[in-house]
Structure 1
Amino acid sequence: MNELIAIGTVSPLRQRLIEDMNMRRFSRETQRNYIRDVGRFATWLGRSPHTATAEDLRRFQIDQRETGVPVPTMNSIVAALRFFFTHTLDRPDLARKLVRTSHARKIPVVLTQDEVKRLLEATTCLKHQAALSVAYGAGLRVGEVSALKVRDIDSKRMVLRIERGKGGRYRNAMLPEGLLVLLREWWRAGRQQGVLHADSWLFPGRSALLPISTRQLYRVVVEAAEAADITRRVGPHTLRHSFATHLLEDGVDIRVIQALLGHAKLNTTAFYTQVATKTMRAVISPLDRLALTSSTAQVPDG
Structure 2
Amino acid sequence: MKIEANKKEEVKDVQPIRSLAQIEDMKWSLKKYCSERDYTMFLLGINTGLRVSDLLKLKVKEVKGKKRITIKEGKTEKPRTIYLENIYTELNDYLKSVGNSEWLFPSRKGDKYVSRIQVYRQLNKAAYMVDINEGIGTHTMRKTFGYWYYKGTKDIASLQMILNHSHPEITLKYIGITDEEIEDSLNSFVL
TM normalised by structure 2 equals: 0.78
1:264/1:148 Cα in 2 relative to 1: closer, same or farther (>3 Å)?
farther
- Structure 2 residue corresponding to 1:151, chosen from 56, 61, 86: 61
Shift of 1:144: 1.0
Q: Which structure would you say has the larger Rg?
A: 1
Q: Which has the higher contact order (CA 8 A, sep 6+)?
A: 2
1:127-150 C-alpha deviation (Å, 9 max, x unpaired): 110011111111111111101112
Q: Of residues 134, 142, 163 in structure 1, which corresponds to 2:72?
A: 163
The 3 A distance-change label for structure 1 pair 187 and 154 is: closer
**Distance between the aligned counterparts of 2:154 and 2:61, measured in 1?**
28
Q: Is the 8 A contact 1:245 1:275 kept in 2?
A: no
Aligned residue among 171, 175, 187 for 1:269 = 171
Unaligned runs of 5+ in 2: 1-6
Identity %: 23
Question: CA distance change for structure 1 residues 189 and 280 in 2, over 3 Å: closer, same or farther?
Answer: same
Deviations 1:86-132 (A, max 9, x none): xxxxxxxxxxxxxxxxxxx9475221221111112101221110011
Is the aligned partner of 1:219 residue 2:121?
Answer: yes
1:115 paired to 2:115: no
- Structure 1 residue 280: deviation in Å? 7.1
**Is 1:242–2:144 an aligned residue pair?**
yes
Instruction: Give distance in 1, aligned partners of 2:141 and 2:64.
Output: 22
Take 1:219 and 1:228, find their aligned partners in 2: how far apart are those partners? 15
Aligned length: 179
Q: Hey, what's the Cα distance between the residues in 1 that align with 2:110 and 2:171?
A: 35
Cα distance in 2 for partners of 1:116, 1:280 equals: 23
Distance 1:151 1:262, change over 3 A: farther
Determine if contact 1:153/1:161 at 8 Å carries over to the other structure. no
Amino acid at match of 2:76: G
CA root-mean-square deviation: 3.2
Secondary structure of 1:162's match? strand
The amino acid of 1:114's aligned partner reads A
1:186 is aligned to 2:94: yes
Report Cα offsets for 1:236-266 as digits up to 9, x if no partner: 2112111111111113411111222233443
| Alignment-mate amino acid for residue 97 of structure 2 | A
Hey, what does 2:4 align to over in structure 1? Answer: none
Cα gap change, 1:231 to 1:213, in 2 (>3 Å): same
Q: Match for 1:136: what amino acid? A: I
Aligned residue for 1:85? none
State the AA in 2 paired with 1:110. Answer: P
Given that 2:29 and 2:130 are in contact with CA atoms closer than 8 Å, whether structure 1 keeps it comes out as yes
* Distance across 1 between alignment mates of 2:20 and 2:188: 30
1:167 aligned counterpart, secondary structure: coil
What aligned pairs does 1:1-302 form with structure 2 within 5 A after superposition?
106=12, 108-111=14-17, 112-123=19-30, 124-153=34-63, 158-177=67-86, 179-190=87-98, 194-196=99-101, 200-271=102-173, 272=175, 273-277=177-181, 281=184
| Equivalent-residue separation in structure 2 for 1:107 and 1:125 (angstroms) | 26
Contact 2:14 2:136 in 1 (8 A): no
Deviation, 1:189, is: 1.9
SS in 1 for 2:141: helix
Structure 1 segments, 4+ long, off by >4 Å, are 105-108, 283-288
In structure 2, relative to structure 1, the CA distance for the partners of 1:168 and 1:207 (3 Å cut) is farther
